A and B are shown apart, each in its own frame.
Chain A
Amino acid sequence: MNLLLVEDDLDLGNGVRIALANQGMDVVWVRRLGDALRTLDGGTFDMVLLDLGLPDGDGLELLFRLRRDKQILPVLVLSARDALDDRLRSLDDGADDYLVKPFALAELLSRVRALARRSYGFNDETIRMRGLALHEPTRGVIVDGEPVELSRCEFDLLALLLKRTGRVVTRRVMEEQVLPGGQANGSNSLEVHISNLRKKIGQGYIRTVRGIGYVIDVQSLVRSTPK
């Protein structure tokens, strides 16, 4: 994977370059907005890691030009600005993700991989997670090699959880996005759908966070196979 890293800080830029190179990624590191624009014109990249405060301009400038030229190149913004406004502005301007400094290397790697996965539709739009495979266009779900029949709601819930693997999806978001009629649909129906979903795909995938929402953990993938 070819990455363009735009970061003016010497130590941080060099550190990120080495850390990503250790993971087998090809990183081109530039320290100025002008260099970044020239480098982008000259080569093909799979992703841009962009710092916002650059000595010769705002990183958002690059973002703006990319989007103006209708380039779908994914951009991950690395910034010291953590105010909500800054994040919203970056995302509005076309950034795909936003990471506030200082960040953990693991977090950076997972976001880079997630972005790569998302933007290139790895495996024909199939999301794979442990023994689960979900194919959105055909609304098909395979558990441990066996196809499973899911209702519309159950499929949408599973898709929502799988797209945000490792992050808790709140009950409110689930109710608003998946359940017909939204929250007005009785407070138990979300539990009923999740319960049915668990019966069909197995108990080991979806973890309940009481009162808050549900999550499919990444860690279990590393720890063991689903029970």
Chain B
Amino acid sequence: MNRTFRSFAIITVALVVFGPLGLIIYQSFLSEAFFSPTARPSLGAYQYVLTDSGFHSAFGTSLLVSLGMTVIAVPLGSLLAFLLVRTDLPWKRFLEPWLLVPIFLSPVVVAFGYVVAVGPVGFFSLWAKSLIGSVPWRLYSLYGLILIAGLTHVPHSFLYVSSALRSLDPSVEEAARVAGAGPWRIAVTVSLPLVLPSILFSSALIFLLGFELFGLPLVLGDPAGLLVLTTYLYKLTNLLGVPSYHLMAVVALSIVALTFPLVYAQRRMLRTAGRFAVIGGKGQAFRPLPLGAFRWPAVGIVVLWLAVTVLLPLVGVALRSVVSQWGEGVNISEVLTLDHFRELQVHPNLIRGIINTLLLGGIGGALSVAFYAVIGLAAHRWQSRWVSFLDYLVMLPRALPGLIVGLAFLWVFLFFKPIAPLRTTLFSLWIAYTVVWLAYGLRLISASLLQVKPELEEAARVIGAGQGKIYGDVTLPLIRFGLVGSWLLMFMMFVREYSTGVYLLGPGTEVIGSLIVSLWGTGALDLISALSVIEVASVGLILFIALRLGVRLDA
């Protein structure tokens, strides 16, 4: 029973990962879209893309954005981690959950928020103009894009550095204190160097995420004529008038060729980081380092980052959704309205999108957690080389941006005729989402499984329970809280997801995220702002429930 269960798990994962990837590779070597009768093997697509100057500049921009955001996000995230984990920063308990909020916000919503808040005619831009006569910043620029990408990715480095700092033996810092070092010196010379592996790991992660950015460059880069690899891919769709699938496949593969080595390097780093992390300390109570006179400036840094990264775009979106029009010389109190929300009802596809989003998050999220749990259980306490094969399989989708997974699944449903009818159902989105979030979801599950002490399962085994009984009577009941937490997290991730649905968007498969992307092309700011508010409100509600239940956001 165990054997069939485990083979089933491995084969299923292999199928959903290699199937789409294989199809992209196959498509890249054709002269036209795979369904065209005149398609034949060719290297023409590679030749076209690799010699296209547009591709070259998109590649360069991607590289710059990735580097730039890493340089901003990693030091800031590490600093915030030190302040929140190791010092007596005031308001710590209140601030901590907020630090992870950007992870649960859709980048396309955030980008839209920045446009209406600090864009050329944004609320705050016009306010600044009325004060000093001109707008002192330019949002639509490479620097604007890099700065915002950097600020919104701070949580990713905070997450890894803070968890490493938590397992650091406080006595090493106390020793530095006794020797006469102040809090900043301790951070720079003791704490952060000791968690260097985690800092490097988060740098590689953020650098990787830079190549997968889509919502931010689409909204913020486009008006300035800036294309990155993903937006270049997106523009190719309409470039030649006919579906240029072979070119898109080559661009997709070129992104994977960049991200895959990064994911692989990260995995290796994680292995050494894990060895490094348990430096000592049994989680004993320790006195946080006193910041002294720096207490309030330190809070200032955290609050300023939160204001710019979370508050600014959200206030922008919320304000934009309740004004009928906006521009220079408009008085806010005269244009307040709820018409945009009423207008949503006129568009059946938007209403369907809202319902679909919630269905996909609620029911789809639960099904995905069930799927991840099956895979997680299959690998649980299994000493075999197949487990490391499964590990590699699972990490592959991390090298695939949602945009590309969505595109690949579109092709899968077009290519394999028997499953073609599923393309216009939510199932196509669900399976694409499940693959995109495979690594994340499995990490949640295995974090829960790790908490189950082996003796608890062995005790059942000795008493006479078979593998199935052990899972059903001991393992799963013990991780039930972890499963609920995972479901809430997947719920939020699925609601905020936007890029995976872009290519699968059609009647029946609308979701808020991909609708916003397609509406952005038409400039329907009123509808976008209303949809964004609904999305953020849904995520906020789930986040509130999750926090009340004590779900750890930093899994």
- A and B, one complex? no
Q: Which residues of B contact A (CB under 8 A)?
A: none
A interface residues (Cβ-Cβ under 8 A, vs B): none
